[in-house]
Chain A
Amino acid sequence: MGLYDIMFYYLASVAVITALLAVSRANPVYAVVFLIPCFFHVAGIFVLLGAEFLAVIQILVPAGALMILYLFVVFLLNLSEIKGRRITNRQTLLAGIVAVLLIILLIVLSMQSLFPGPFQEMVKSVGIDNTAAVGGSLYTDFLFPFELASLVLLVVMFGAMVLAKREEKE
């Protein structure tokens, strides 16, 4: 068992455990704080897969910016007084059955060799410089979707302002 395998099992197990802790906490502050190490370890998984650029983005955007945004909203809402006793809703039993069936289905499908042969072997990473490879693809083949993404962000910026704006009382 090489260092690569040990790193994979460490990163995967911590990611799964922190994800489980995050969705099972009653207090949303703890949930957000547990999701930060989960996203950090997913960034480690990206490094193992040779995607360094995405690993940095994973730390900056989901683990950094988005979790801070969630924390700000949790603090803004001041949920301490309205804390309910139940943390799950009425369909929990049915949802649990659906989740167990889904995980069994996905694992069985994942274990089957989708691409038999040398494809499942460890192959070398995409190019030497991962950032250059991603950037080259992004700015040539995917230039239009890339520009469209900026439009999406612009619309979201105005949408969030309109939605969260306090209405003036007459």
Chain B
Amino acid sequence: MITLSHYLILSAILFTIGVAGVLMRRNIIIILLSIELMLTAVNINFVAFSHYMENPVGQVFVFFVMTVAAAEATLGLAIVVALFRNLETVNVDEINQMKG
């Protein structure tokens, strides 16, 4: 029997993998990918609650989260392209121009 808790735990595992990727990795493209993974984990939570509460509003919110995820990825990649053009690096620990 698959309960709501199973979906919540799956979502928690995927979210934590995303958090670990954001905190540990140097490559800014992988950091953006990890943010995508975190948003996907949140979407699983939304859909699971929508299913078990029999309310479609959760799925509408997933729609908006996907819109924002697409926007975030587009702007993030544009920033990566601009950054690489100026600094010739994609490692976040080498981007410290504004450090005091």
Does A10 interact with chain B (Cβ within 8 Å)? Answer: no
Interface residues of A (CB under 8 A from B): 4-5, 8, 12, 15-16, 19-20, 22-23, 25, 28, 31-32, 35, 38-39, 42, 45-46, 48-51, 53-54, 57-58, 61-62, 65-66, 69-70, 73-74, 76-77, 79, 82, 84, 86-92, 94-96, 98-99, 102-103, 106-107, 110-111, 113-115, 119-127, 130, 133-134, 136-138, 141-142, 145, 149, 152-153, 156-157, 159-161, 163-164, 166
The residue on B at minimum CB distance from A155 is B71
Q: How far is the CA of A58 from the CA of B50 in the complex (A)?
A: 16
The prevalent SS among residues of A at the interface is helix
A54 pairs with B63, CB closer than 8 A:
yes
A-B interface pairs (CB < 8 A), number: 242
* Contact pick for A70, options B18, B24, B37, B77, CB 8 Å: B77
**Mask: chain B, 2-29; 1 = CB below 8 Å from A; 0 = not:** 1111111110111111111101111101
Minimum CB distance partner of B94 in chain A = A84
* B14 cross-chain contacts in A, Cβ below 8 A: 15-16, 19, 42
List the 10 closest pairs (A to B, CB-CB), nearest first: A95-B23, A106-B12, A23-B21, A110-B8, A163-B78, A99-B20, A160-B78, A156-B71, A133-B56, A103-B16
